[in-house]
Amino acid sequence: MIVADPGWLVRLSEIAEKRGPWLVKFMVAGGENLTEHSRKFIESVWQTKVLLSYGQTEAFGMIGIECPYQQGYHLNDMDLWAEVVDPDPDGYGELVYTTLRRTVMPLVRYRSGDVTRILTGACPCGSRSVRLAKLRGRADELVVDVGQAQAQSVDLGLEDDADLIDLAAEVQPRQPLCDGIHLAIGAGERVVQRLHLDGVRHLGEPGCRAW
Ligand SMILES: [Zn+2]
């Protein structure tokens, strides 16, 4: 098995696609976002599943991990109690968790800063543990004045591109009633060139816009 950052796995898979992969039972990726298209690319190269994990340093490691059905993170509910506060109509809000067994530096309703929702119903694997949906982004990445869009909601027309590794959006107040959005894009060279060529169509002219 291989455990790695998603960006590193994408690069390794590009090399393995050319040179040939070796036998891997499964892969675990965590630490940053992995688009579903990139996941499919990695899985097609290695002919195995990529399971995503979710954790925070403050939680002392892993908070949850996907099972082979890849339908949300199974929460480590022996150690953590999870809540989602101020959910939107789809149930997405900030994850807040409480440590259950830690005696040194316990956390009580700790604000993770991550936006997700709690999945209801049993997983096909049979586990009854609480599951968290794939993260939508950071709570402090909310884009104000455009209806609470997270980074993943900023449509660059790149979501289906295997070279897109990660995307983060940050509001930068510039003038009254007009905020700018700073986009940080982790991507391969081909996406950078595509953004450069298609930038006007995807990003629009600089200025005060609403959508
Ligand atoms: Zn499961």
> If you measure from the C-alpha of residue 140 to the centroid of ligand 1, how many angstroms do you get, rounded to a whole number?
29
> If you measure from the C-alpha of residue 124 to the centroid of ligand 1, how many angstroms do you get, rounded to a whole number?
6
Name the CATH superfamily housing domain 2-138.
ANL, N-terminal domain (3.40.50.12780)
> If you measure from the C-alpha of residue 13 to the centroid of ligand 1, how many angstroms do you get, rounded to a whole number?
26
> If you measure from the C-alpha of residue 67 to the centroid of ligand 1, how many angstroms do you get, rounded to a whole number?
5
pTM for the model stands at: 0.68
The position carrying tokens 């402090």 is 140
Q: Where are the domains of the chain?
A: 2-138, 142-203
Which pLDDT tens digits describe the chain residue by residue (211 residues)?
999 998 899 999 999 999 999 999 999 998 887 888 889 999 999 999 999 999 988 887 789 999 999 999 999 888 999 999 989 888 999 999 999 998 989 999 999 999 999 998 889 999 989 999 988 877 766 544 443 344 444 555 555 566 666 666 666 665 555 556 666 667 677 666 666 554 434 444 444 433 3
> If you measure from the C-alpha of residue 93 to the centroid of ligand 1, how many angstroms do you get, rounded to a whole number?
22
> If you measure from the C-alpha of residue 77 to the centroid of ligand 1, how many angstroms do you get, rounded to a whole number?
14
